Structure 1
């Protein structure tokens, strides 16, 4: 099933839902910043879910893909509220929550606020609190641009320049992971590439050390970059979901 979901805030989110047989937990995939629900990881997971009889929900965050708006019009709170709402409406029953980069930040927030909701959690190059790290690295010129223009622009290795808005940084401060305890009672698998230029492996180690829970594992993959989309990496994502599903 494909369509658009209307949020209470009036935003239309594009989504695809695959109905499963119910014997296995479904999968909810949250994509990264400036990505969308049709990325390599999301489509590979949908193929696997279809083969294994799992349900799956993948959707475009506001301002991304085929959803309404422009990326710079939204922030972490907006995306968190929308993710929570569409998941509650379209992904019934036990679910494994999978988040990539920005989606990993959102997934961690969702898992922290309602841990009983999730059968498992898998993060891929999770980028919690990346707005704080960006602010700490800003020079005077960027700080002035953010204050005066309400946005900054940075080149991207993946296409068009990225625009980061004041709203993004402001809402990032309201949703920090490292400022509060992170109790994750569900099985958790964190995947991180050692060759990631966007999220340093040290950030993944810090996240693992910050999280508390009975079954949390971090795997740092030598040759993986931020995309984490080579065939062997896709297989690792599948294996991680399978692992947290059977615990």
Structure 2
């Protein structure tokens, strides 16, 4: 692990596990970001459905085969720096596809680097909370869940919310966006309405019978929804 200064802050740079499936496609590569306590392999079935496309999936720090830095090194800025690093191998804008936390991070990255993002696929994701009490309630729930799991020390920070920056700036994002949610995912269904009101949503998909992990059980419909970004591009 290496410590570097990024945007005036000291950040621990860690090894990030990345898998890339290259193709000859001229369409934007699709970069998949998983949710909390998950890993990049969760995208395998969706990526197979998109086998004609160049795709990448990566493990968040403290997840899968990526390194686990010490506590205090799992904040949003550090994770976005990881994403910036792994995207360095592409010489053109990409589609950012993210599930749950991965969707939130994709939004945050788009706010920082809009020129690098050709489109967004938000899968069972939310934009955070404007109300401080709601953030605190969410963070307490994260702590309770983390206490029951065998996680790297301090890694629950990656899933916590400390501000409403993404939600406040949502309307400035212009990238074409698809929003996907499971029919039974009651927690994240309201976020679809927020995204439709604030973002350039060109397609929304509610997947029948699906819960929060819609991409696990219904990779075909999820991949088909992501392909709607190509329809809009044409």
TM-score by length of 2: 0.78
Counterpart residue number, 1:12: 15
Contact kept, 8 Å, 1:152 with 1:165, in 2: the verdict is no
Q: Provide, for residues 107-155 of structure 1, a one-character-per-residue CA deviation record: whole Å limited to 9, x for no partner.
A: 11122333332222111001332696351367xxx59xxxxxxx83327
C-alpha distance in structure 2 between counterparts of 1:57 and 1:45, whole Å: 11
Q: Return closer, same or farther for 1:166/1:179 CA change in 2, 3 Å cut-off.
A: farther
Number of equivalences = 222
Q: Note if contact 2:31-2:55 (Cα within 8 Å) is conserved in structure 1.
A: yes
**Is it true that 1:93 corresponds to 2:116 in the alignment?**
no
1:76–1:175 CA contact under 8 A, matched in 2: no
Q: Distance in 2 between matches of 1:164 and 1:129?
A: 23
CA distance 1:7–1:108, change in 2 (3 Å): farther
For normalisation by structure 1, the TM-score amounts to 0.74
Alignment-derived partner of residue 180 in structure 1: 169
Runs of at least 5 residues in structure 2 that lack an aligned partner in the other structure: 5-11
**In the alignment, what sits opposite 2:7?**
none
Q: CA RMSD in A?
A: 3.5
Give unmatched runs, 5+ long, in structure 1: 144-150
Once residues 22 and 170 of structure 1 are traced to their aligned partners in structure 2, the CA distance between those partners, rounded to angstroms, is: 34
Inter-CA distance 90–76: structure 2 relative to 1 (3 Å threshold): same
Whole-angstrom distance in 1 between the partners of 2:182 and 2:92: 31
- Compare the two structures and name the one with the higher strand fraction: 1
1:102·1:126 contact (CA, 8 Å) conserved in 2?
yes
Instruction: Report the equivalent of 1:201.
Output: 189
